């Protein structure tokens, strides 16, 4: 047990400065990059829209559960199926935070190759979807939803009149730099820490157990064998939930046990890009054919690039940083790393402590009673991104005056006079289940 805790502590100390920097950059991106940028150019069934969706998705700090409603949201706003699949594949594999964290433990080659592979795999998957799933390429919303280019369509809420809801379209333009900077810090070290913190902790614990408690003999058959290593990793990473940052220490631990660099890349790709829940949602919302293309693209990309790394690139590029990590572990940890680790632990405890004070409105209980609106049970929300996308989907409907979403309670309180069936359809169109409470 002491050895496991020692390994977890060493991994955390090495990652903490880079994690804090990554979270900060992610918060700045979230606050200062307009959200309209991600939906404006994704509507046509062209290779350009697929490439742009992948380029937008690679740096975005969205976890594997948060990317599903976000992708379904851009689909509702007019993105093509190919662009949506491209976004779904690229976004959870990387993120500015996970790229920096990859560099911290696995070195520069992995940190460079990881986003490149995510980009190429996403473009391939999106292009295949546009080519092979030509039917049902229209919008997934009801006929009453305005088409792209009409009043109330993409990038505005459909119930807003000309000049209204200006703050919804681009809220940051009406706030000062200092206010926006505070909002970026709040998102980075509040909401994002809540969303990713649990999975980061699980990744560190699993890596610590593999490194300290699992005998090397368990992996003898995989040592140096690319094909066995890749198939082994694919078997558990495709259905299992792994976030991009939490997968890093696990990949490192497996490499230290003898798995090849290509197999480690497969884990970094396939683990965050897919899980059982996302496969089901994609199949339900985009159709079985798109789901099969999505899954096949991830598997094919993982195998091709995993084999390519092992056979076409010098292995020393990837093994030397791993050996340096082990050497640093033996040499001890510097004061700066201790300070960063202490700060990161405080933020993690604050984000994950079940009885702590959470100031994010998605996390709190609903503030009004059912007498002031209609309450819906929402199934499937796992993070703040999920809750925000549910809120946006309902707020876009005609007749909605106000929406409150509680991630903790799994409920949405809707004020106004929207059609109940439209509320249910709007929530289900982004991958969640909704039901009106009795």
74 and 145 inside one domain: yes
Are 320 and 388 members of one domain? no
Q: Which of 88-97, 132-141, 206-215, 366-375 has the highest mean pLDDT?
A: 88-97
Q: What pLDDT is stored for residue 121 in this prediction?
A: 96
CATH number at residue 394: 3.30.70.100
User: In the beta sheet, which residues pair with residue 263?
Assistant: none
Q: Which of 289, 321, 350 is the last residue of a domain?
A: 350
Is 359 domain-assigned? no
Task: Render 189-222 in DSSP notation, one character per residue.
Answer: IIIHHHHHHHHHHHHHHHHHHHHHHS-GGGGGGG
Q: Is the pLDDT of residue 14 over 50?
A: yes
CA angle, 148 as apex, 401 and 385 as ends, to 5°?
55
Same domain flag for 425 and 276 = no
3-class state of residue 225 by DSSP = coil
Mean pLDDT in residue range 188-193? 86
Residue 362 placed within a domain:
no
Judge whether 141 lies within some domain.
Answer: yes
346 and 385: one domain?
no
Residues 377 and 322 in one domain: no
Q: Looking up tokens 């359809």, which residue turns up? A: 425
Of the segments 42-51, 226-235, 293-302, which one has the largest average pLDDT value? Answer: 293-302
The burial of 289, by beta-carbon neighbours within 10 Å (0-12 exposed, 13-18 middle, 19 or more buried), is given as middle
Give the per-residue pLDDT at 125. Answer: 95
Residue-range definition of the domain harbouring residue 199: 2-350
Looking at the chain, the whole-number percentage of residues with pLDDT higher than 70 is 83
Residues 385 and 339 in one domain: no
Looking at the predicted structure, is the pLDDT value of residue 416 above 80?
yes
Boundary residue ending a domain (318, 350, 382): 350
In a domain? residue 358:
no
408 & 314 share domain: no
Domain count, the chain: 2
Q: How high is the mean pLDDT of the chain?
A: 80
Say what the pLDDT of residue 303 is: 93
Residue 64 contacts residue 242 (beta carbons within 8 Å):
yes
- State how far the alpha carbon of 274 is from the alpha carbons of 277, 298, 302, 396, in Å: 8, 8, 12, 28
- Average pLDDT over every residue of 185-197: 85
Q: Using CA atoms, how far apart are residues 207 and 54, in angstroms rounded to an integer? A: 29
Angle between helices 108-132 and 47-57 in degrees, nearest 10: 150
Does residue 361 belong to any structural domain of this protein?
A: no
Alpha-carbon gap, residue 149 to 233, rounded angstroms: 45
CA-to-CA distance for 423 and 137, rounded, in angstroms? 23
pLDDT band at 364 (very low <50, low <70, confident <90, very high): low
Does 113 map to a domain?
A: yes
Q: Which of 40-44, 285-289, 348-352 has the lowest mean pLDDT?
A: 40-44
pTM higher than the cut 0.85: no
Burial classification of residue 80, based on how many CB atoms lie within 10 Å of its CB (0-12 exposed, 13-18 middle, 19 or more buried): buried
- Most confident of the ranges 134-138, 211-215, 279-283, 391-395: 391-395
- Shared domain for 403 and 299, answered yes or no, is no
Q: Are residues 345 and 410 in the same domain?
A: no
Across 25-34, 57-66, 97-106, which has the greatest mean pLDDT? Answer: 97-106
| Per-residue pLDDT at 134 | 61
Co-location of 330 and 383 in the same domain: no
**Where does a domain end: 317, 350, 383?**
350
Per-residue confidence band for 354, with pLDDT thresholds at 50, 70 and 90:
low
89 & 171 share domain: yes
Contacts of 321 (CB under 8 A, 6+ apart): 105, 106, 107, 108, 109, 110
How high is the pLDDT of residue 110?
A: 94
272 inside domain: yes
Asked, for residue 355, whether it belongs to a domain, the answer is no
How high is the pLDDT of residue 150? 38
Determine how many CB atoms are found less than 10 A away from the CB of residue 168.
14
Residue range 369-378, pLDDT digits in tens: 555 788 999 9
In this structure, the answer to whether residues 105 and 74 fall within a common structural domain is yes
Confidence of residue 327 (pLDDT cuts 50, 70, 90): low
Q: Of 2, 89, 10, 3, which is closest to residue 334 (Cα–Cα)?
A: 10
Distance CA 377, CA 375 (A): 7
Task: Give the tens place of pLDDT for each residue, 127-186.
Answer: 999 888 765 444 443 333 333 333 333 333 333 333 333 334 444 446 788 899 999 998
| Structure confidence by residue, pLDDT tens digits, 274-326 | 888 788 888 887 888 999 999 999 999 999 999 999 999 998 999 888 777 66
CA 291, CA 282: separation in Å to the nearest integer?
6
Higher-confidence residue of 274 and 223: namely 274
Whether the pLDDT of residue 366 is over 70: the answer is no
């Amino acid at each position: 047990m002491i050895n496991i805790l020692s390994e977890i502590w060493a991994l955390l100390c090495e990652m903490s400065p880079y994690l804090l920097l990554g979270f900060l950059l992610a918060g700045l991106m979230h606050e200062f990059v307009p959200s309209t940028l991600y939906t404006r150019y994704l509507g046509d069934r062209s290779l350009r829209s697929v490439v742009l969706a992948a380029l937008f998705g690679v740096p975005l700090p969205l976890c594997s559960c948060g990317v599903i409603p976000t992708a379904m949201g851009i689909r509702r706003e007019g993105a093509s199926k190919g662009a949506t699949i491209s976004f779904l594949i690229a976004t959870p594999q990387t993120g500015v935070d996970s790229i920096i964290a990859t560099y911290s433990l696995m070195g520069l080659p992995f940190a460079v190759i990881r986003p490149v592979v995510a980009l190429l795999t996403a473009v391939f998957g999106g292009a295949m979807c546009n080519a092979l799933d030509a039917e049902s390429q229209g919008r997934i919303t009801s006929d009453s939803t305005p088409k792209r280019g009409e009043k109330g369509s993409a990038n505005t809420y459909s119930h807003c009149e000309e000049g209204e809801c200006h703050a919804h379209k681009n809220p940051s333009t009406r706030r000062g730099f200092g206010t926006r900077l505070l909002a970026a810090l709040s998102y980075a070290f509040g909401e994002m820490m809540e969303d990713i913190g649990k999975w980061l902790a699980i990744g560190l614990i699993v890596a610590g157990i593999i490194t300290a408690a699992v005998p090397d003999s368990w992996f003898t058959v995989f040592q140096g064998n690319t094909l066995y290593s890749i198939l082994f990793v694919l078997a558990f990473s495709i259905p299992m939930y792994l976030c991009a940052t939490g997968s890093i220490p696990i990949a490192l631990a497996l490499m230290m046990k003898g798995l090849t660099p290509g197999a480690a890349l497969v884990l970094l790709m396939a683990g965050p890009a897919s899980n059982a829940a996302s496969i089901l949602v994609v199949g339900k919302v985009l159709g079985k054919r798109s789901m099969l293309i999505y899954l096949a693209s991830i598997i094919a990309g993982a195998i091709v690039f995993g084999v390519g790394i092992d056979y076409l690139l010098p292995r020393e590029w990837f093994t030397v940083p791993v050996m340096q990590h082990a050497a640093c572990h033996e040499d001890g940890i510097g004061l700066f790393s201790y300070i960063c680790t202490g700060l990161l632990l405080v933020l993690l405890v604050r984000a994950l402590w079940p009885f702590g004070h959470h100031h994010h409105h998605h996390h709190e209980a609903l503030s009004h009673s059912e007498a002031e609106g209609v309450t819906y049970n929402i199934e499937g929300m796992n993070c703040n991104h999920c809750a925000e996308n549910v809120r946006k989907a309902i707020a876009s409907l005609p007749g909605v005056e106000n929406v409150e979403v509680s991630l903790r309670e799994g409920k949405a309180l809707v004020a106004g006079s929207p059609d109940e069936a439209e509320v249910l359809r709007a929530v289900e169109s982004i991958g969640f289940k909704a039901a009106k409470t009795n």
